[in-house]
Amino acid sequence: MLVLDEADRMLDMGFVDDIKAIAARCPAERQTLLFSATLDGVVGNLARELTRDAQRIEIEAVPHKESKIEQRLLFADNMDHKNRLLDALLRDVEMTQAIVFASTKRSTEEISDLLADSGFASDALHGDMQQGQRNRALQRLREGRTKVLVATDVARAASTWRPSATSSTSTCRVRPRTMSIASAAPAVPVVPASR
């Protein structure tokens, strides 16, 4: 049996050759299970290549109210500037909760610790955590005990947390020189870079 979970994410991260190499080492007579948020384009082509007589099972998404989300892209001159931008965004009184996405498991812990040292109720969420730890972190977020959840991109895909209708939630993608913000809160003044 070959199981490919989050196939679209694996392809986004450039693992197509690795997937094909693993599939080539599996027995020709096998059951292949491929899970993906989408089966269009490259993912659909891969699914057709790796499966025979496939059955497509689609699960209808649970409808939820559209939230009013504002997206912004902020450029940071350096890590200090990025930290000041993040601090300013999170201190906005209209911002009740936020999810910050980091690229590595280690950086989720570091950013969460930095935020906790700055007085924010924060938690980290990444793949090296035990399932019970991940569940408790998400539960604290749902209950409003966590203001900032710092998660890896893979954790983002697996997360089932949705903000409440009254929640003012922001997501921030943390990368070396940019920070993109999606926020339900009013616009926050941008902290200028020090020259």
Does the pLDDT of residue 195 top 70, yes or no? no
Residue 190 within any structural domain of the chain: no
What is the number of residues in the chain?
195
Whole-number Å distance between alpha carbons of 65 and 53: 37
Query: Do residue 43 and residue 101 come from a single domain?
Result: no
Query: Do residue 74 and residue 170 come from a single domain?
Result: yes
pLDDT band at 92 (very low <50, low <70, confident <90, very high): confident
Residue 194 within any structural domain of the chain: no
> Which of 19-28, 92-101, 113-122 has the least mean pLDDT?
92-101
Query: Do residue 89 and residue 17 come from a single domain?
Result: no
> Which of 2-6, 108-112, 139-143, 167-171 has the least mean pLDDT?
167-171
Residues 96-118 have a mean pLDDT of 87
Query: Do residue 87 and residue 33 come from a single domain?
Result: no
Chain centroid to CA 78: how far?
A: 23
Query: Do residue 94 and residue 144 come from a single domain?
Result: yes
Residue 191 within any structural domain of the chain: no
pLDDT band at 113 (very low <50, low <70, confident <90, very high): very high
Query: Do residue 81 and residue 43 come from a single domain?
Result: no
Of residues 85, 83, 121, 127, the one with CA closest to residue 103: 127
Rounded to two decimals, what is the model's pTM? 0.53
pLDDT for 174: 46
Residues 11-33 have a mean pLDDT of 86
Residue 63 within any structural domain of the chain: no
Whole-number Å distance between alpha carbons of 147 and 152: 17
> What are the tens digits of pLDDT across the range 139-192?
898 888 998 888 886 554 444 444 444 444 444 544 444 444 444 443 333 344
Query: Do residue 28 and residue 92 come from a single domain?
Result: no
Q: How many domains does the chain have?
A: 2
Query: Do residue 97 and residue 147 come from a single domain?
Result: yes
Whole-number Å distance between alpha carbons of 98 and 168: 8
Residue 105 within any structural domain of the chain: yes
Range of the domain at 106: 70-183
> Which CATH number covers residue 86?
3.40.50.300
Query: Do residue 137 and residue 174 come from a single domain?
Result: yes
pLDDT for 7: 82
What are the b/e assignments for 32-51, b being 16+ CB within 10 Å?
A: eebebeebeeebeebbeebb
Query: Do residue 110 and residue 161 come from a single domain?
Result: yes
Residue 128 within any structural domain of the chain: yes
pLDDT for 181: 44
Residue 26 within any structural domain of the chain: yes
Residue-averaged pLDDT of the chain: 75
Residues 64-83 have a mean pLDDT of 74
Whole-number Å distance between alpha carbons of 129 and 133: 6
Residue 25 within any structural domain of the chain: yes
Query: Do residue 42 and residue 110 come from a single domain?
Result: no
Query: Do residue 80 and residue 169 come from a single domain?
Result: yes
